[in-house]
Structure 1
Amino acid sequence: MLTIHAADEVRLVWGSGDSVKGGAVAVEGARVAAVGSLAELTERFPGARVRQWPGGVLGPARVHDGPLPDAPTPRERIHAVLKSGAVAVLEEHADTAELRAAAARNDVAVLPRTRPTAITENGRADLAVFDEKGECMATVCAGRLVHRRR
C-alpha cells in the first residue's frame, strides 16, 4: 500500500537547509515514490494512506555512527537505534553475528563507513521525523514504520 508521510517541513538532505514547507514523501514498498507538497501527492496518489506528523520535521533517517546503545539483547540494541531515528549502523559497532542478524531482520543497513543521507525518488524509503527538541517522533526503515512515539 502506498503511504504518504507529511510534516510541517520536509528536509531532503540530512542537515541541509534544503526543505519543503508543508511537504510530503510518498512511499511504496521499500522505495520513495515521490516527494512534493501534500496537496500534490494526495492528488497524484488519491487512494494513498496519509500519515500526518504535526509539529515535526521529516527528513532522511540517520546513520548511527557510534557504539550501539546498551540493552539486554541484540534485538533491543537495534530497536534503540531505530528509536533514535537511525536506520543504519557502522559495521565496526555491529561486531557480533547476533547484532548483524538483528540488524538484517529489521532491514537496518550495516555500513563500512558513515555516508550522507538524502530522500530521493526511487531511493530506499528511510525516513525519520523529529520534534522541535530534536527528539525522534517516528522512524521509517525501508518503507516500514518501525518506531512511533505516542
Structure 2
Amino acid sequence: MLTLHTAELLVSGPGRAPLPAGAVVVDGDRIARVGPYEDLAAAFPHARTRRWPGVLTPGLRVLGADELLERTYYPDDPYEVPELGADPISGEAAVEALKMTEARWGNSARRGTQKLLARGVVAVCGRFTVASVRTAVSRSGLVILPPAAYEEPPGLDPLAGRDTAGEAFHGQLEPGVVARFAVFAVADEAELLTQGATTCVATVIGGRLLHRRR
C-alpha cells in the first residue's frame, strides 16, 4: 500500500534546505518519492495520506546504545515503580544490586527501545554482548550500527549536546532508500534542537509506524 506522509515542514537530510508542506511517499518498506505535497498528492491520488504537525526529518541515530541498554535498567511500569522509581537506573553498583538476569536485561531493553522510538530514533550505535538485549534491539526494528566515538555520557535524547539537529540524522530521505523517518512537533530544525527529541509525534521504520504519540 502506498502511504503519503506530509508535515508542515520537510527536512530531507543534513544541510538540506527545508521544504514547506513537503511530503514522502512510502511504497512498502521504501521511499518512492520526496517533494511538495501538492505534487505528490496529484501523482499518487490513491495513496493513503497521513498528515503530521511540525517537522518531518530522517530518523535519529543514538550513540552509546550498549551503555543505554546493557548497563542501564528501565523499571517495569507500574509494577516496579513503587520500589525502584520511574527513572532509568545506571551506575555499576546500582545495577549490580538489582541482581540482573539475561531475561530481565531483555525485558529492560524492550522498554528502553520503546523510549528510543518515542524520541524518533531509528538507528543505534553500539556492540551488544547480552544475547537477550541484542534480540530485543533487532526485533524493535532499530538499525544496529558499529560503535562510534562520543564525548558526553550517552542519553536517550540523541540531540543532546549536538550543534545541529542534522548531526543526529541517520541518512537522507530520497527515492529508493528504506523508509526511516520521524516527525517532531516543532516549527523548524532549530527549534527541534532546543526542544529535544521528546517532541517526537511519529517514528517510521521500514515503512511501519512504530511510534505515534497518542
Q: TM-score, normalised by structure 2?
A: 0.64
Q: Which range moves more in the overlay, 16-25 or 81-90?
A: 16-25
The amino acid that maps onto 1:88 is A
CA contact (8 A) 1:31 1:123 kept: yes
In structure 1, what is the Cα distance between the partners aligned to 2:170 and 2:179? 15
Q: CA deviation at 1:113?
A: 4.2
Q: CA deviation at 1:79?
A: 1.2
In structure 2, what is the Cα distance between the partners aligned to 1:99 and 1:38? 39
Does 1:71 find its partner at 2:49? no
In structure 2, what is the Cα distance between the partners aligned to 1:22 and 1:95? 43
What is the identity percentage for the equivalent residue pairs of Structure 1 and Structure 2?
A: 39
Distance 1:116 1:51, change over 3 A: closer
Q: Which range moves more in the overlay, 61-70 or 20-29?
A: 61-70
Give 3-state SS (helix, strand or coil) of 1:122's partner. coil
Give 3-state SS (helix, strand or coil) of 2:132's partner. helix
Q: How many residue pairs are counted as aligned between the two chains?
A: 147
Kindly indicate which of the two structures has a greater share of residues assigned to helix: 2
Gaps of at least 5 residues in structure 2 are 76-106, 149-168, 187-194
Gaps of at least 5 residues in structure 1 are none
- The aligned counterpart of 2:44 is 45
Kindly indicate which of the two structures has a greater share of residues assigned to strand: 1
Give 3-state SS (helix, strand or coil) of 2:68's partner. coil
Q: TM-score, normalised by structure 1?
A: 0.89
In structure 2, what is the Cα distance between the partners aligned to 1:119 and 1:99? 29
- The aligned counterpart of 1:122 is 176
- The aligned counterpart of 1:13 is 13
Aligned partner of 1:86 among 121, 131, 138 = 121
In structure 2, what is the Cα distance between the partners aligned to 1:57 and 1:103? 26
Runs of at least 4 residues off by over 6 Å = none
- The aligned counterpart of 1:30 is 29
Distance 1:148 1:116, change over 3 A: closer
Aligned CA RMSD, in angstroms, stands at 1.8
Distance 1:41 1:113, change over 3 A: farther
Q: Residues 33-64 of structure 1: CA distance to partner in whole angstroms, max 9, x if unpaired?
A: 1001111111111111100012x100100111
In structure 2, what is the Cα distance between the partners aligned to 1:88 and 1:96? 18
In structure 1, what is the Cα distance between the partners aligned to 2:130 and 2:17? 38
In structure 1, what is the Cα distance between the partners aligned to 2:144 and 2:129? 10
CA contact (8 A) 2:61 2:123 kept: yes
Q: CA deviation at 1:116?
A: 4.8
Does 1:60 find its partner at 2:95? no
Q: CA deviation at 1:86?
A: 0.5
CA contact (8 A) 1:100 1:110 kept: no
